[in-house]
Structure 1
């Protein structure tokens, strides 16, 4: 008897931290919360269905944060998927406080990060977090103190791997002098490549590069734009083409498109099977 590979498997595999194999097309769990990334989702049942559909589609990498809700995203993940499949890798983040909808304030104090790690462990129902990412470097706290605390938590067995979010190359190098960093999560997509130098660094060092806001396309998806033309030739949506471009752009890229809709999730994961030709990839790359 033969089995059909799960759709997400077509995106390929990356060895996160050298020991955690994940399918490269993952899922960002920010949008399963309420408006402004605050409170419960409008349709909690659909949020749970989205999360459960992930495993059916072969998605093995979920990215969340304690600030999504706050805590709502992590708790929903546990409700929908615990006990977790053996191949599922869950990443979370800490380093923001949320006094209200749409408000994000950095807090990298060691005692705060320890508190948030403990909270995430409880929310997710795990004894160790696969990947814990410093959500932002707090300009009021030396990065050596923030990452030093995460290193202690790693040594305590509460964190498996440490990552960063929205950093420059200089900040990444500074962080690597303090902790073993396995991933970077920066804003990056077809229309916004301001983190190109960070991606190049990650490629050279074989660090995972996790682009947030991965399906943004700007004006490229307009009816006469290059993305729209390529989309028509593939019978695919502009968002699917944007994800296909990321997957081809670098083997260290792990896109994490998010959604609160099962139908949209199916559409996003189908992008793993879209194959851009060399000419199409070059045309889209030149378009910005």
Structure 2
């Protein structure tokens, strides 16, 4: 099987993005259909699943998507030790669907702990900063991720929705091999 390197992981070139299971304008599948989709992806050789704590049908259901992924992995009929789950944090949702960003150490620590519980894991394979918090120094927030990695809560660190300068700052803070991923949108509508 052909693989690609992502940080410390060798992965099948195609991963599964789980966001449509919980968030979006379209009708969402039932949880059983979502679990079946994950199982079908695993049957097809997928070794990477992308999720996020904010992928939820409402503000008071944070972690919904992560729980579906955890349920799917737990109920799969074969070993999933080779499957890498990447999740993201740093976006907040509050009452009335108010969205925000929080890159503080206090918030990120709470978010990582909540994701560990939702994913039913001892360590998060890949934890990505979902969107920059423009009220905080970028390098300081990346350093928070490094602290959580040093504590053994995160195996690999990634960033998302980052520009060139932010990528350079992340590499400077984490070292040349410390940044495992940059997840930016690439589509015909966004170039």
TM-score band w.r.t. shorter chain:
0.7 to 0.9
CA contact (8 A) 1:36 1:101 kept: no
Q: How does 1:203-282 map to 2 (within 5 A)?
A: none
Q: Which residue of 2 aligns with 1:182?
A: 180
Q: Which residue of 1 aligns with 2:153?
A: 158
Q: Is 1:14 aligned to 2:4, yes or no?
A: yes
Q: For this pair of structures, how many residues does the alignment match?
A: 180
Structure 1 pair 22/188, CA: closer, same or farther in 2 (3 Å)? same
Q: When you count strand as a share of all residues, which structure comes out higher?
A: 2
Question: What CA distance in whole angstroms lies between the structure 1 residues aligned with 2:150 and 2:34?
Answer: 34
Offset of 1:176 from its aligned partner? 1.4
Q: Cα deviation per residue 1:95-122 (whole Å; 9 max; x = unaligned)?
A: 1012268753221111101110111111
Q: Alignment RMSD, CA only?
A: 2.2
List gaps (5 residues or longer) in structure 2. Answer: 57-61
Structure 1 pair 67/193, CA: closer, same or farther in 2 (3 Å)? closer
Question: What CA distance in whole angstroms lies between the structure 2 residues aligned with 1:104 and 1:28?
Answer: 21
1:170 alignment partner, one of 152, 159, 165: 165
Q: Which residue of 1 aligns with 2:12?
A: 23
Superposition TM-score, scaled by structure 2 size: 0.86
Provide runs of 4+ in structure 1 moved above 2 Å.
Answer: 34-37, 99-104
Q: Which residue of 1 aligns with 2:59?
A: none
Q: Which residue of 2 aligns with 1:217?
A: none
Question: What CA distance in whole angstroms lies between the structure 1 residues aligned with 2:16 and 2:96?
Answer: 22
Q: Alignment partner of 2:173: what SS?
A: coil
Structure 1 pair 20/97, CA: closer, same or farther in 2 (3 Å)? same
Structure 1 pair 34/132, CA: closer, same or farther in 2 (3 Å)? closer
Offset of 1:82 from its aligned partner? 2.1
Q: Which has the larger radius of gyration?
A: 1
Question: What CA distance in whole angstroms lies between the structure 2 residues aligned with 1:21 and 1:28?
Answer: 17
List gaps (5 residues or longer) in structure 1. Answer: 1-8, 195-288
Q: Which residue of 2 aligns with 1:238?
A: none
Offset of 1:24 from its aligned partner? 1.0
Structure 1 pair 25/65, CA: closer, same or farther in 2 (3 Å)? same
Structure 1 pair 113/46, CA: closer, same or farther in 2 (3 Å)? same
Superposition TM-score, scaled by structure 1 size: 0.58
Q: Cα deviation per residue 1:49-93 (whole Å; 9 max; x = unaligned)?
A: 111222111110001001111211100111111276121010000
Q: Is 1:75 aligned to 2:62, yes or no?
A: no
Q: Cα deviation per residue 1:212-255 (whole Å; 9 max; x = unaligned)?
A: xxxxxxxxxxxxxxxxxxxxxxxxxxxxxxxxxxxxxxxxxxxx
